[in-house]
Structure 1
């Protein structure tokens, strides 16, 4: 059900979007997969991400109180994107004002659904709301920047006794418009949420974005990947961690390898055959991957 809501000091009126269903495919916004928008560390980061490559510019700034939104916090945005795309595919209207229960988000992203999980979710929402982004991506003039926070506002909903029963949040136009464009959204493997390292989570998203299901795969120079990650670690440490990821092969659906040529180290990645991926998922008790993109 959708009702007209007045949310926040700006008195902006939006129709409330109430997501329906839990067994849906996980979808991610390609812009968020391809570029450095999040901290890759769980420790608090306040140093900005100042990224420039060609016509693309990104500035991500954090507050000292909450720190920068992390790649784990981005799971909330993946849940939102998944719900919006699912509703659009079913012909249901959507809105930037979204209602949810903490259990829905935590269960979808494979987090603990107890009190501790709820407290971590609220901290993630605070970081998403307080982190500010200015970017030229999807702007008609490369010198023009769109400035926003990942969540404009959010609030807990309480009943007459003061007991919390859900949350409501408003996402920015920049994110919402990107999700409504189906060409800018990709289905991701649900086992992504089981990845524990920030670097391997970031790497999966960039591999999924650029490698897709191309037969020949894709490759990047390690130095180029380091630049695109926005990570604070020096290149030498970044390269060491990338070699460890290649050794462990943790990315669902992809095989990684390294090559050295002309004094440069390069990461290659190629999609695994779907049958092999489905078999691996069944062995750990998961359903086969959704093949929609």
Structure 2
């Protein structure tokens, strides 16, 4: 449930916060009696792992090197359609902890898994900016400003990060992607309070504005508003609600492979996980008949035998016969050679 409106509390800790200190004052990390942070700004709890700092090269990272980040609370479902064409019927997930309904506009439909790459790009850049702020704190800066929710996006950089060949057709498709993302709404009705999922009505992106176009009509820059729930999940001082996807996620061309990569990261993590075909079908949001979905998943996993996902091995196993025939999917984090 939402906070009691009679209480002077923030819906999100980041609401109204423009600096690191203001963010702390909105959280349990700030002692209102003493007026001081509960954790020193140089405390190890604020530190970023030095190997991570080296990997992302916070001060000199090019757009090609930014790790792909996704929203933790939605990685076990698809808040989008799996196909390349937009879907117009709602996606409904009735899960143990929440009922989630995804709808799109009557004109543009629900965003696709390929449209969602823009959301991943947005989360990834915001996470990088927050890592830079934490690095400044480690270096002694007292109260750096938080990232703005209005993100200025260079389309050339966007296409490079999304592994899209720049061209006139892609600029037309970009407008359609933004329209679908803007119109896609996720309604979450939590059944259990202790869950990382947000509650209420969420949008995949906020407002956007085409800021600059070339003489040929191609988009060169646009401004994108980061939704409050995504912004808060990234800038929060404790337990950011983001997970890192594999480096080559944007190279995956199959919607099913993207789906498997996301759900592998959320469910298996650093270990392994098993899904029955019924469970996987439920989490996919697919509007295909089960029989067709089962066939498509098997075909997608078969293709991974020659071109596997970067971080995970995925296999399926069929047991039983006739009506008792069952399909299970095993996901395991690949161990790097020593």
Cα shift at 1:145: 4.3
Deviations 1:57-101 (A, max 9, x none): 111111231111011111111111111111111116212211111
- Whether the aligned pair in 2 keeps the contact of 1:66 and 1:127 (CA below 8 Å) is yes
Cα shift at 1:115: 2.2
What is the alpha-carbon root mean square deviation over aligned residues? 2.8
Cα distance change of structure 1 residues 138 and 129 upon mapping to structure 2, 3 Å threshold: farther
Deviations 1:184-218 (A, max 9, x none): 2121112211212212211110011111221xx11
When Rg is computed on C-alpha atoms for both structures, the one with the higher figure is 2
What TM-score, normalized by structure 2, do the two folds share? 0.69
- Whether the aligned pair in 1 keeps the contact of 2:99 and 2:191 (CA below 8 Å) is no
Cα distance change of structure 1 residues 88 and 14 upon mapping to structure 2, 3 Å threshold: closer
Structure 1, unaligned runs of 5 or more = 1-12, 277-293
2:80 corresponds in structure 1 to 38
2:299 to 244, 251, 256: 244
What TM-score, normalized by structure 1, do the two folds share? 0.79
Structure 2, unaligned runs of 5 or more = 1-15, 19-60, 134-144
Cα distance change of structure 1 residues 163 and 131 upon mapping to structure 2, 3 Å threshold: closer
2:183 corresponds in structure 1 to 130
2:270 corresponds in structure 1 to 213
d(CA) in 1 for partners of 2:62, 2:74 = 24
Cα distance change of structure 1 residues 245 and 105 upon mapping to structure 2, 3 Å threshold: same
- Whether the aligned pair in 2 keeps the contact of 1:226 and 1:235 (CA below 8 Å) is yes
Cα shift at 1:14: 10
- Whether the aligned pair in 2 keeps the contact of 1:73 and 1:128 (CA below 8 Å) is yes
Cα shift at 1:146: 1.4
Equivalent pairs, count: 257
Matches of residues 20-35 of structure 1 in structure 2 within 5 Å?
Answer: 21-22=62-63, 23-35=65-77
d(CA) in 1 for partners of 2:192, 2:174 = 31
More strand by share: 1
- Whether the aligned pair in 1 keeps the contact of 2:93 and 2:101 (CA below 8 Å) is yes
Cα distance change of structure 1 residues 59 and 163 upon mapping to structure 2, 3 Å threshold: closer
- SS of structure 2 residue aligned to 1:259: strand
1:228 corresponds in structure 2 to 283
Deviations 1:268-292 (A, max 9, x none): 011122249xxxxxxxxxxxxxxxx
Matches of residues 85-96 of structure 1 in structure 2 within 5 Å?
Answer: 85-91=127-133, 93-96=146-149
- Is 1:101 aligned to 2:158, yes or no? no
1:174 to 209, 218, 229: 229
1:157 corresponds in structure 2 to 211
